[in-house]
Amino acid sequence: MLGVWGSPLGGVDLVGMELTSVRTDTDIAVIGAGPQALTLVTHLLQKKKTMRSRFQVFDPSGQWLTRWRRQFAAQEIPYLRSPAVHHPDPNSHALLSFAEHREQEFYDPYHRPGARLFQDFCETVIDRWRLRDRVIPAQVTQLLPEQGRFRLILAEGRTVIARRVVLATGNHTPHLPDWVNAIPNNTPPERLRHSSAVDLSAMPRLMGETVLIVGSGLTSGHLAMGAIKRGARVLLMARRQFQENFFDAPPGWLGPKYLKGFLAETDWRRRSQMIHQARNGGSLTPDMLTRLRRLSHDNKVTLYEHCQVEAARWKEDAWQVRCSNHDVHDCLAHQPINRIWLATGSQLDIASHPLLGTVMSQYPTQVINGLPVLDEHLRWPGCELFLMGPWAGLQVGPVARNLFGGKMCCDRIIPALIKPIGRRPHR
């Protein structure tokens, strides 16, 4: 069902775009222009300013943080989950200094910055490091290792040869529950959406509608707030009890408290288990869960715990849903459900990454629960490909995909970019 994952966060049409700034060969190609890619570039330039002429950044939008901005707008996210010291600039206090006269845009506790404040700050970071025109509006469609280098095939047909590549694209493949595959293709696509395809900013009024949101992470909370704001009644369903945490992994994972034991662990499967346990399947911030509970008292949202959808069928103008909890099933059977939104996260499987098929065949590496085993510099064993974001989880830990995780990735990658370091056997 294409409508489920037809994301508003997709790429930009390259037809008619001028790519005259593309060099046909480069030392370092950075694929992606999100927060982690921006973190990499600023930290690289801080360490060695002469690296400016040695890298090119590729992103379909041609701009920094496009996907990030669209996601925050689409889900109407008011503020970040990370504290103000986590951001793409090398100076951890830069955001606090920038916001000296915008103190009201921080959210307690932990001084979390508002989305607009963070975006404005990142614009100053881009300008201060003279990166405004450094993103080439091109989508890399193939990444081919050739004779110790990489051939990047761009969507409009050009080819770029790079000596080193940093993949900083994150993971954008939606995870869909098994029952979704049994739904006929003739179901109205706007009635079943993955969260990545829900754009609240373009959503019409939902007065009188009932929206079932499946998932227990913070995304489900943002979508619930957006639906209620538009007049809908929300059913929020979790397969377990709703969890309450300020962060998506305990703060101890930012330093030696937990990382020391993680890095001392030589069993990759055990590391994978530690990541899974730390992230714990998603959680809501205390303030979000409090708001949802208050709204439940006003009958604007119903929280269903320990329940999973087993089957769903679109009949006439509403969903008929069967779920695992019989009490919930009886409740759902007596109310029409107009829309289902799946806040079920992303599918983390490096083997399905669209750019890495040839790399994996030429340079096989161990894959543990979807994550590749990289060397200490987050380099794919056997070649000069470096991975950031969630793909670095086995080396960096459960916060690899977060803002601070980007800095942790930089600490490992940048030494190998500035001064080539021989490949050593990875642990």
Q: Is residue 97 part of a domain?
A: yes
- For residues 230 and 370, membership in a common domain is answered with no
- For residues 19 and 122, membership in a common domain is answered with yes
Pair 53, 25: CB distance under 8 Å? no
Q: Closest Cα to residue 231, out of 312, 319, 338?
A: 338
pLDDT band at 425 (very low <50, low <70, confident <90, very high): very low
Q: What's the Cα-to-Cα distance from 153 to each of 24, 133, 167, 352, rounded to whole Å?
A: 11, 21, 14, 18
Q: Is residue 427 part of a domain?
A: no
The 10s digit of each residue's pLDDT in 232-271 is 999 999 999 999 999 999 999 999 999 999 999 999 999 9
- For residues 338 and 364, membership in a common domain is answered with no
The 10s digit of each residue's pLDDT in 137-194 is 999 999 999 999 999 999 989 999 999 999 999 888 899 999 999 999 889 999 999 9
pLDDT for 114 equals 98
- For residues 114 and 207, membership in a common domain is answered with no
Q: How far apart are CA 396 and CA 253, in angstroms?
A: 9
Residue 21's domain spans which residues?
Answer: 2-173+348-418
End-to-end CA distance of the chain: 41
The 10s digit of each residue's pLDDT in 15-45 is 334 444 688 999 999 999 999 999 999 999 9
- For residues 321 and 410, membership in a common domain is answered with no
Q: Is residue 187 part of a domain?
A: yes
- For residues 57 and 14, membership in a common domain is answered with yes
Q: Is residue 271 part of a domain?
A: no
The letter for the amino acid at 163 is R
pTM given for the model: 0.94
Domain limit, last residue, from 297, 325, 342: 342
Domain limit, last residue, from 342, 366, 387: 342
The 10s digit of each residue's pLDDT in 396-423 is 999 999 999 999 999 999 999 998 665 5
- For residues 207 and 230, membership in a common domain is answered with yes
Q: Is residue 273 part of a domain?
A: no
Pairing between strand 112-113 and 135-137? unpaired
Partners of residue 313 on adjacent β-strands: 320
Q: Is residue 254 part of a domain?
A: no
Copy the structure tokens of residue 381.
């064993």
Mean pLDDT of the chain: 93
Q: What b/e string do you get for 334-367 counting C-beta neighbours within 10 Å, with b at 16 or more?
A: eeebbbbbbbbbbebebeebebbeebeeeeeeee
Q: Is it the case that residue 83 has pLDDT exceeding 80? A: yes
Q: How far apart are CA 213 and CA 342, in angstroms?
A: 6
- For residues 335 and 357, membership in a common domain is answered with no
Pair 140, 118: CB distance under 8 Å? no
Q: Is residue 186 part of a domain?
A: yes
Pairing between strand 367-368 and 371-372? antiparallel
Copy the structure tokens of residue 150.
């990489």
The 10s digit of each residue's pLDDT in 314-329 is 999 999 999 998 888 7
Q: Closest Cα to residue 310, out of 177, 175, 174?
A: 177
Domain limit, last residue, from 342, 370, 392: 342
373: buried, middle or exposed (CB in 10 Å: 19+, 13-18, 0-12)?
A: middle
Q: Which CATH number fits the domain that encloses residue 239?
A: 3.50.50.60
Q: How far apart are CA 213 and CA 45, in angstroms?
A: 43
User: To the nearest whole percent, how much of the chain has pLDDT over 90?
Assistant: 87
Residue 201 contacts by C-beta under 8 Å, 6 or more apart in sequence?
73, 74, 76
| Overall average pLDDT of the 354-374 stretch | 97
Q: Is residue 190 part of a domain?
A: yes
The letter for the amino acid at 296 is S
- For residues 310 and 329, membership in a common domain is answered with yes
Q: What's the structural domain count of the chain?
A: 2
- For residues 289 and 396, membership in a common domain is answered with no
